[in-house]
Structure 1
Amino acid sequence: MAGTAGVAVAATQFPFAKAKSAPARFTGYPFTLGIASGDPTSDSVVLWTRLAPSPLEGNGGMPDKAIPVQWEVAKDENFTQVVASGEELATYGDAHSVHAEPQGLQAGFEYFYRFKANGEISPVGRTKTAPSGPTSALAFAFASCQQYEHGYYTAYKHMSQEDLDLVIHVGDYIYEYDSNSYTASGGNVRANSNHEIVNLQDYRERHAQYKTDPDLQAAHQNFAWLVTFDDHEVDNNWAGNIPEEGMPLDFFARRRRAAFKAYWEHMPLRKALRPTGNAIQIYRRAQYGDLASFHVMDTRQFRSDQACGDGAKAGCDDRNNPARTITGAAQEQWLYDGLQASPAKWQILAQQVFMAQLDYTAGATETFNMDAWDGYRVSRDKLLDFIDTRKIANPIVITGDVHANWAADLLRDFRDSSSKILGSEFIGTSISTTGDGSDTGSAATLTENPWIKFNQSQRGYVRVSLDQNHCKADYRVVPYVKRPGAPISTRKSFVVEAGNPGLKDA
């Protein structure tokens, strides 16, 4: 995709086709939360917006009635070549969110789109369908962990100017805390509503607050996104039906239901993914021709409770319990089936928490994070065994959660550092969470875990370029986020060769 120049065209210059129904009136500009696209296929993409003239009010400043919203897709940003159009009803019960799904688009093609409601026209967005058949190259970025109070989203401003086909978000799109429960080093730089969010109105307000950020809006406006959640979209370190802090289970079930509803309302997700009760079908697959299969995972909703009371623990035998799972049986089988059947050169597992083994303590004592795959060792061993015995080619895991950049090889058996390398994992830092960060890592940790090749803790994202022979990851970092205007640079790059697993310096 090209850069951002020209995308924010004055859409009001170009009239829509006549609306199918008369508009219902409300006051104010409705597209304050921007526009987005997502879940691309070879002939379709989801177009998203939410009508919210007063975005931080519980109802977004909208009346309790359905509002018709027109949408258009064109081959050019002036909309002289409209190829699809339609109308959706934005309803009060879904926070006046819109999830339009144009069909019959060309594979691997760049399109422009816009919305109209109440006589107002949205900014112009740009998106791209997935390719089909032989595919020579693909570029995507992935990001995670964007606590609003901790810093500015400067990394998204730079991301929006990259040449990308896709953006993947692997979790912690919002944070549920009040202003004082989890603060950045040196203090927060932006304010939230200053209460922990627990009900539907709370979650809607928090999502809306994040969506008002112009840099985040720019990244959504310029690229199709694939999204999945981690814990903070609901509650820190929740596991299945179990909350972190021992709240009553019936209360947590209602909280989870509210969180999933607000998440769907604010993301470019298909109508079929609309939550049912307190469950949402978020694991799914995106196919990019014969080059890449994206297996978008959910390591929260079906996991067993963390072993040994959660946290970093030494000597926790329960992490080896074969009854415990991080994916649940159905998702595990879905993943295995998809890996086995995929025609693509690269298998991209987009997921939430550190998969490679990470021992935090030097010497004979081993300390592992019970919230990561280290706390679910049997699940990891089964996956790695499947990749090895079924000869799954070129697996790449992309991960967030830990607010630092890491790069690791995935070994057949982490108890033997000379074990067979099966694939690699790129772990991306946060967009803003914990504040500025620093250009430091832990040499002792790398020595203790020799399959880990890189560790650094500035903010940013990871840009990944694929072709039929190579996968290249560029760790893109900004030196600060506690004030706006930071420059971007590539701190480190790695290459993985198809058919020759293992990280190599680029």
Structure 2
Amino acid sequence: MRPTHSRRAFIIRVASVSATLAAGGAMAEEDLKGFGSSGHPRRDGPVQFDFGVASGDPLSDRVILWTHARRRFTNLPVVMRWEVSTDATFRRLVSAGWATARSETGFTAKVDAKGLQAGRTYFYRFRTLFDVSPVGITRTLPTNDVQSVKLAVFSCSNYPAGYFHAYSEAVHAGAQYGVHLGDYIYEYPANGYASQDAAALGRTSVPATEILTLDDYRRRYAQYRSDPDLKQMHGRMPVIAIWDDHEIANDSFVTGAENHTEATEGPFAARVAAALRAYHEWMPIRTPDRTDLKKVYRSFDFGNLLSLHMLETRLLGREEPIELLDLVNPVTAAASFAAFTSPSRQMLGDEQVSWISQRMYESDATWQVFGQQVLMARMEFPVSILRALNPADTSPEAIAAGAQAVNDYLTAKATAALNPALLTPLQQALLNPQTNPKLGYNLDAWDGYPAAREVLLGTAAALGKRVVSLAGDTHNAWYSDLALLDGTKVGEEFATPGVSSPGLEAALSALSPAQTTSIFRGVIDTLKFCDTYRRGFLLMTFTQQAAQGQWYFLDTVKSKNYTVAQDYTATFEA
């Protein structure tokens, strides 16, 4: 029996059809076949757009539009009309077409809306005969003489760790475009990393197991995309995204990952295939090469102001990380150091290096911006400190030994700055790179691939380019110089704090944030600013004169009541 409908529902539907006609989008008889006969859609149940809408990968004349659409009572495909308008009432359509959400794509649908004008703001939506998605706002890229662009930079959004307030705050801060540098989801089970408060927050991971299969990854994306702050951000600005490791498995590289055991979890290649298929389904990303979903490196030109190059640093070229303990252990140090410093050691892979070199050569923009996952600036500590500081050992004795090693090095450094003649033999040894070399404390970052970093930055320097690196991964905020091994400054790095994942305040819980900051700032010469204990986002404003970073910090991600502060700004002049 055909279901009955209230008068109110009938009026809403009549108004919906009338709006379509008024917008010049009247459906032809042939088009109606996609929806079935007039009585059928309600038998299948209303179409639900539970995860809102999103846009991404904007170009000057097009943008990717995304939604998830599913009927309440069936798994039948959902045929939709998508519409782009210059006004929120959709009376002036500038682009429209058809899309289908099917079970084969997890009921997601993406289209490349073309025929748009550069540097314009548009409204968009998806609709069936009776049901309409939320309305989204998107923007195309500007061309020619561009004076200013605002980018909100995000990383490390861990659903069970806390609320995603940073996403909605970026909307309030006036960002025009979003840049997500990875760890959009996390792969751990419900009782895994940073989940101790999940039940109390109502944010327990789904599925409860670690995600391995395509269905697992789809369900995890669905949970994250249900977050209201994330939906608001996606609905208000186009996002340019790249994955890091947790979209697959922790500390991923070409042939494996720290958090993957083939004996019990199956081939790593199968997990990568499932993870990347889900990523391309659920993210508003243009897929450059459908035969190889790993190839997502791509560029976005904002006129003559900046070229944003999104780099893939996990699955295309990255060799297996070398363990820090193997470099500082006298037994394994020689062999490990030889592999570590090898000029052929890869991070991006030859093909991607050739691509980014060509893109920088061709670009005449004021700023060359690397949108990539991990810290590119050198975050190196002397071995004397690395041997003493062990985050896994928080005993009083270990803490005291670490503090002493830090104090000894900083005292020697201060003495050398004031009066080198006063240095003792022990202090001279601490400052001698031959007897006390410096190594990155995190070799999963570019510090673990020094030759690859030198090639990339050296290429930029040879081309005379002004470089800005945007980075995530660490959950903390950093601002540093980018320099070659000989000390030549090539650019600066602005690193965003995590949206919700805990930072160094958790790993170095025995130290106060002030002490941690003092250690990092004291030891690392190229480091200009860091915040090691708060979550938030980075707002980058590019002009022809400067690249300015503003860090926004939240006082908590554990409560729906919070405050946000913008209390540090850094400027890199052109």
**Normalising by the residue count of structure 1, what TM-score does the alignment of the two structures yield?**
0.89
- Aligned partners of 2:367 and 2:468 also within 8 Å: yes
2:480 alignment partner in structure 1? 408
Q: Distance in 2 between matches of 1:495 and 1:146?
A: 26
Q: Counterpart of 2:556 in structure 1: which amino acid?
A: Y
For residue 305 of structure 1, the aligned residue among 319, 342, 353 is: 319
Would the alpha carbon gap of residues 128 and 167 (structure 1) be closer, same or farther in structure 2, given more than 3 Å must change?
Answer: same
Q: Distance in 1 between matches of 2:326 and 2:499?
A: 24
- Aligned partners of 2:84 and 2:123 also within 8 Å: yes
- Do residues 398 (structure 1) and 470 (structure 2) align? yes
> SS at 1:72's partner residue?
strand
1:387 alignment partner in structure 2? 460
Give the drift of 1:470.
Answer: 1.0
Q: Distance in 2 between matches of 1:79 and 1:49?
A: 18
1:260 alignment partner in structure 2? 276
- Do residues 84 (structure 1) and 95 (structure 2) align? yes
Give the drift of 1:446.
Answer: 1.5
Q: Counterpart of 1:422 in structure 2: which amino acid?
A: V
Structure showing greater radius of gyration is: 2
Q: Distance in 2 between matches of 1:96 and 1:489?
A: 39
1:225 alignment partner in structure 2? 239
For residue 280 of structure 1, the aligned residue among 281, 286, 294 is: 294
Would the alpha carbon gap of residues 195 and 160 (structure 1) be closer, same or farther in structure 2, given more than 3 Å must change?
Answer: same
1:454 alignment partner in structure 2? 529
1:251 alignment partner in structure 2? 267
Q: Distance in 2 between matches of 1:330 and 1:100?
A: 28
2:306 alignment partner in structure 1? 292
Would the alpha carbon gap of residues 184 and 406 (structure 1) be closer, same or farther in structure 2, given more than 3 Å must change?
Answer: farther
- RMSD of aligned residue pairs (Cα, Å): 2.3
Q: Counterpart of 1:473 in structure 2: which amino acid?
A: G
1:489 alignment partner in structure 2? 565
Would the alpha carbon gap of residues 142 and 337 (structure 1) be closer, same or farther in structure 2, given more than 3 Å must change?
Answer: same
- Aligned partners of 2:482 and 2:489 also within 8 Å: yes
For residue 183 of structure 1, the aligned residue among 176, 179, 194 is: 194
1:18 alignment partner in structure 2? 26
**Normalising by the residue count of structure 2, what TM-score does the alignment of the two structures yield?**
0.78
- Do residues 321 (structure 1) and 336 (structure 2) align? no
Q: Distance in 2 between matches of 1:273 and 1:137?
A: 28
Q: What are the within-5 Å matches in structure 2 for residues 136-151 of structure 1?
A: 136-151=147-162
Q: Distance in 1 between matches of 2:484 and 2:368?
A: 17
- Do residues 474 (structure 1) and 550 (structure 2) align? yes
Stretch of structure 1 that moved more, 439-448 or 399-408: 439-448
1:377 alignment partner in structure 2? 450
Give the drift of 1:181.
Answer: 2.2
> SS at 2:494's partner residue?
strand
Q: Distance in 1 between matches of 2:67 and 2:477?
A: 32
Q: Counterpart of 2:247 in structure 1: which amino acid?
A: E
Would the alpha carbon gap of residues 311 and 148 (structure 1) be closer, same or farther in structure 2, given more than 3 Å must change?
Answer: farther
Q: Counterpart of 1:47 in structure 2: which amino acid?
A: L
Q: Counterpart of 1:451 in structure 2: which amino acid?
A: T
Give the drift of 1:366.
Answer: 3.2
> SS at 1:121's partner residue?
coil
Would the alpha carbon gap of residues 210 and 67 (structure 1) be closer, same or farther in structure 2, given more than 3 Å must change?
Answer: same
Q: Distance in 2 between matches of 1:85 and 1:44?
A: 12
- Aligned partners of 1:241 and 1:252 also within 8 Å: yes
Would the alpha carbon gap of residues 492 and 312 (structure 1) be closer, same or farther in structure 2, given more than 3 Å must change?
Answer: farther
Q: Distance in 2 between matches of 1:62 and 1:169?
A: 34
Q: Distance in 2 between matches of 1:375 and 1:274?
A: 29
Give the drift of 1:312.
Answer: 9.2
Q: Distance in 2 between matches of 1:496 and 1:464?
A: 11
For residue 196 of structure 1, the aligned residue among 201, 207, 210 is: 210
> SS at 1:21's partner residue?
helix
For residue 373 of structure 2, the aligned residue among 330, 352, 371 is: 352
Q: Counterpart of 1:208 in structure 2: which amino acid?
A: A
- 1:24-53 per-residue CA deviation (whole Å, 9 max, x = no partner) reads 543244210110001111110111101146
- Aligned partners of 2:151 and 2:178 also within 8 Å: yes
Would the alpha carbon gap of residues 370 and 313 (structure 1) be closer, same or farther in structure 2, given more than 3 Å must change?
Answer: farther
- Aligned partners of 1:307 and 1:370 also within 8 Å: yes
Stretch of structure 1 that moved more, 188-197 or 368-377: 188-197
Q: Counterpart of 1:412 in structure 2: which amino acid?
A: L
Q: Counterpart of 2:56 in structure 1: which amino acid?
A: G
For residue 518 of structure 2, the aligned residue among 422, 427, 443 is: 443
Give the drift of 1:306.
Answer: 2.8
Q: Distance in 1 between matches of 2:149 and 2:534?
A: 26
Give the drift of 1:21.
Answer: 3.1
> SS at 1:68's partner residue?
strand
Q: Counterpart of 1:487 in structure 2: which amino acid?
A: T
Q: Distance in 2 between matches of 1:200 and 1:118?
A: 31
1:426 alignment partner in structure 2? 494
Q: Percent identity?
A: 30
Q: Counterpart of 1:192 in structure 2: which amino acid?
A: S
For residue 340 of structure 1, the aligned residue among 361, 372, 381 is: 361
Q: Distance in 1 between matches of 2:196 and 2:273?
A: 32
2:396 alignment partner in structure 1? none
Q: Counterpart of 2:236 in structure 1: which amino acid?
A: N
> SS at 2:48's partner residue?
coil
Stretch of structure 1 that moved more, 435-444 or 35-44: 435-444
Stretch of structure 1 that moved more, 198-207 or 320-329: 320-329
Give the drift of 1:345.
Answer: 0.8
The structure with the greater share of residues assigned to helix is 2
Stretch of structure 1 that moved more, 260-269 or 88-97: 88-97
1:34 alignment partner in structure 2? 52
- Aligned partners of 1:261 and 1:274 also within 8 Å: no
- Aligned partners of 2:254 and 2:320 also within 8 Å: no
> SS at 1:347's partner residue?
strand
- 1:324-374 per-residue CA deviation (whole Å, 9 max, x = no partner) reads 211010001111111111121111100001111112435435342221111
Q: Distance in 2 between matches of 1:240 and 1:484?
A: 39
